[in-house]
Structure 1
């Protein structure tokens, strides 16, 4: 009798475990048909590689996909519901800073059982950040619209992004790059933040962002001389804290990068833009602030991603200096 009871108990435990796994279908939902249709219209498939770029000040996450030309094109821009801290990199555990830098996310970093609905780990600290002694754990993109050092979306928003991420990785992409930037790297923003002590760091981030804008390919990111480098040969070890060796010029991008650098200097030396105000604690996309002001927090919990449409014509992202170049005749 005791043996039968033990056997029954074991069976119930096993069945309950299976039931739990069957009920927990988070992260298994397919990409919404409307987004698949949008991919098709843009010459993309769910299996094509992806790239993500985050702009902290604007509270936006851009989802890019490689299209039939072999280059990456913007698929959709999502509003971020919450990020904590202020503009600037994360350096210490518990500082509530959302990180800024270059990260690679693999399938092992996806969490379908996150307490914030769904999430993927950014991989902070990366190799350079570790060498610099910057510390922090579990820095994520997740749902639940709540942040303590993470980039938070609504549940519906993260479910859509997670599905696209999952399918691209399952199709063979080893890992996708995330560029977490303080703001859109425009001349206006550079001028507004020109007095910020983080500007040298941000200009280093901008080098990688500029390369993506020019080539529409995620740059190969390495580190030496206490900074990111993007034109280093892929072979050979680099010491993140050691001196950088001499790298050859990039014929395909050198002229455009030099022109952008000149415009950056002009923006940083321009007193015309209004100086930026300091951030007290993080930010939220304006669409969510409006919802909070009119309907309260409960409305955010029930919201779908289609309730806050955010889109930017890709032509406007092709060259952040386009309007200035036209105006100056460059």
Structure 2
């Protein structure tokens, strides 16, 4: 994995990014949408065309996230959030201590109503996390420039969908014993509405959960804790049938009696490409290569553990980070 040269200048759309957008039929000013996957340690950036359908622009490897799979519920739990968020221009921070960042807006209306606590949960640079998603300075600089341009060009806010893993039936089967399963099944519906239609799902909250692509009598529910009022779907019958079919695949996977290995989460995760660099060159050199201020890699020994194999690697230099 080759890392681009660091720059202390404010992020801007490079000629290379504009060219890459053009090759994919995208414009810098087109609306954006972000998806985040913890288990895979990846962030996807999508761009919408004139019809409102989104196409994937790029998948970025994530250097660090903390905690384990599951939603964030309280201050200090080191959990990176899972759910649906909306980011406006005022939530972009060009003077972050981690180069630049944008605030996810945790807790959102549903999370606040449920009593969840925490603040300043970000997507930012460097490779350090205590509840945030750290993308390296190079990665967040490119992402920041793209989303900033979209917001400056008329997009009111962009949606961020944060998931524990890519929401396939196979992955649900692997996590069948997880106590967060009912919450993840709710996220799965929103995931499928986007994945199958490539259109941003409308998100509301009632009955203590997210609801998607619903039009309610009298407007969206004001209290996320009360029962959902009468509503009709704004999705086509064909799309609803596809979403139902996906739910059936997950239910079938969950019904299979099969033992699942326990995950060895020491603290969060790291994309395999960065784990390779960390193992090869050590925490100090990695921090130097991906952070303007050389911000230390958070808990590097924990980052070397592959949660899905239960194995850890040996770092090439001693570190007190």
TM over 0.5: yes
1:281 pairs, out of 267, 290, 296, with 267
CA distance in structure 2 between the aligned counterparts of 1:128 and 1:272, rounded to whole angstroms:
34
CA distance in structure 1 between the aligned counterparts of 2:178 and 2:193, rounded to whole angstroms:
23
**1:145 and 2:131 aligned:** no
**1:246 and 2:230 aligned:** yes
Secondary structure of the corresponding residue to residue 233 of structure 1: strand
CA shift, 1:37, in A, is 1.1
CA distance in structure 2 between the aligned counterparts of 1:42 and 1:276, rounded to whole angstroms:
41
Q: How many residues align?
A: 281
1:94-115 deviations in Å (ceiling 9; x for gaps): 1111010000000000000000
Assess if the C-alpha contact under 8 Å between 1:192 and 1:276 holds in 2: no
Q: Cα RMSD between the aligned structures?
A: 1.9
CA distance in structure 2 between the aligned counterparts of 1:174 and 1:231, rounded to whole angstroms:
19
CA shift, 1:295, in A, is 1.1
1:113 pairs, out of 87, 95, 99, with 95
Give 1:34-45 correspondences, 5 Å limit.
34-45=16-27
Structure of higher CA gyration radius: 1
Which range moves more in the overlay, 146-155 or 231-240? 231-240
Give 1:177-326 correspondences, 5 Å limit.
177-233=159-215, 236-238=219-221, 239-249=223-233, 250=235, 251-271=237-257, 274-303=260-289
Gaps in structure 1 of 5+ consecutive residues? 1-23, 306-330
Secondary structure of the corresponding residue to residue 231 of structure 2: coil
Q: Match for residue 20 of structure 1? A: none
Q: Match for residue 65 of structure 1? A: 47
Assess if the C-alpha contact under 8 Å between 1:231 and 1:247 holds in 2: no
TM-score (norm 1): 0.81
CA shift, 1:303, in A, is 4.0
CA distance in structure 2 between the aligned counterparts of 1:202 and 1:280, rounded to whole angstroms:
22
CA distance in structure 2 between the aligned counterparts of 1:106 and 1:190, rounded to whole angstroms:
32
Which range moves more in the overlay, 284-293 or 29-38? 29-38
CA shift, 1:270, in A, is 2.4
Assess if the C-alpha contact under 8 Å between 2:204 and 2:220 holds in 1: no
1:195-239 deviations in Å (ceiling 9; x for gaps): 000000001011111000111111111000000001321652412
**Which protein has the bigger strand share?**
2
TM-score (norm 2): 0.83
CA distance in structure 2 between the aligned counterparts of 1:71 and 1:112, rounded to whole angstroms:
29
